Structure 1
Amino acid sequence: MGTNEPPRLRGVLKEDLSAIADLEATAFGTNGLTRNALDVIFDPSGAFWLLAEDEEGVWGHSVNARGEDPHVGWILGMAVHPERQGRGWGRILLQASIDRLQDSDINVIRLLVKRTNKLAYRLYESFGFVDSGERADHFGPGEDRLVMSLLLSTEKPPKGQSSPPFPQVPVDPQDTGRTLNGVAAGPQIPRDDAQKWYS
């Protein structure tokens, strides 16, 4: 189903939150952002979010936020529905998310990825994200997540020159695998009672 046309990207409205929650559940199961979590974080960060759609509906999203350090942004959740995977939608959505965060004076972008999710890891790596820490037991015992970071240039390169593709990103001293209580490395997002907060 669907076409091979690239997605249309647009900002997110409150009425889109149920579609995002459904896609999070499809992509990440019980570790996905719930409708309750999306409701809580929409007002402070919804301006950074993106939807990817075609004539048949919404098939991808990127939920982004500014961290406690105003120059650090987080990609909290990004997914493309299985029916639209393999068409370049993930690359388009990731590039648009990076651009949107960079336009808001953010110069470091962080995200979490499961070590065994090689497809996502390779996508992020191809954009210049590097390993910068680990969150041990982030979603419960044995549910560790790698922290990947992308350092964005704050200066435009001189005309005719390009910036270095993969700048070095220092390890965040707060992402050392310690327990998360009290750690303020990323935005704290309430989860349902049975789930940890997302950061």
Structure 2
Amino acid sequence: MSQSPRVRPAVPEDYDRIIAVADEWWERPISSVLPRLHLDHFHRTSLVAEDESGLAGFLVGLISPSAPDAAYIHFVGVAPRIRGTGLGRRLYHRFFELAAAEGRSRVGAVTSPQNRRSIAFHTAMGFTVTGPVPDYDGPGADRVVFQLLLPPR
């Protein structure tokens, strides 16, 4: 029986392992939306999950430097071999703890309207769902916007 993946803070050196699996895990070209700068500058608020088989999942998140109440989840991945085990939920809850510890009261995220799995996951996690918002990320780049209010500390 395999053990539950160990979740730890990310380090910049995790980038190469993450980007190496991104397109495979999404079954489409997606790596361009995760440049190295995210792990170089936001590793303190990002997470990596590992098990005996290696990389099991990750979450790239940040504490907003401009909105003092906000945190943002930019990119999350769970290895196909371990989906449905609750790892995604664990990563989100760990990030919520990080955000709350930084005095943040809300967490946001976005996805494309075609990403039904992400929309269903965020809805099940209690996020409010807005959209699709036309041209959110520029002309023709509609996005579904998620927001979750964290419980008061």
- TM-score grouping bracket, smaller chain normalisation: 0.7 to 0.9
Secondary structure at 2:4 match in 1: coil
Q: Deviations over 1:27-57 (max 9, x none)?
A: 343333566x22x233432100000110111
Secondary structure at 1:16 match in 2: helix
Does structure 2 conserve the Cα–Cα contact (< 8 Å) formed by 1:26 and 1:81? Answer: no
Does structure 1 conserve the Cα–Cα contact (< 8 Å) formed by 2:22 and 2:31? Answer: yes
Partner of 2:54: 57
Does structure 1 conserve the Cα–Cα contact (< 8 Å) formed by 2:9 and 2:46? Answer: yes
CA RMSD of aligned residues (A): 2.4
Q: Against the structure 1 CA distance between its residues 81 and 33, is the aligned structure 2 distance closer, same or farther, given a 3 Å change threshold?
A: farther
In structure 1, runs of 5+ residues without a counterpart are: 156-199
In structure 2, runs of 5+ residues without a counterpart are: none
Matches of residues 11-160 of structure 1 in structure 2 within 5 Å?
Answer: 11-28=9-26, 29-33=28-32, 37-38=35-36, 40-67=37-64, 68-137=66-135, 142-155=140-153
Q: Which has the higher helix share?
A: 2
> TM-score, normalised on structure 1?
0.66
Does structure 1 conserve the Cα–Cα contact (< 8 Å) formed by 2:38 and 2:60? Answer: no
Does structure 2 conserve the Cα–Cα contact (< 8 Å) formed by 1:4 and 1:87? Answer: no
Secondary structure at 2:103 match in 1: coil
Kindly name which structure, 1 or 2, has the bigger radius of gyration based on alpha carbons.
1
| Residues in 2 aligned to 1:34 and 1:111: alpha-carbon distance in whole angstroms | 14
Secondary structure at 2:29 match in 1: helix
Identity of aligned residues (%): 25
Q: Which has the higher strand share?
A: 2
> TM-score, normalised on structure 2?
0.83
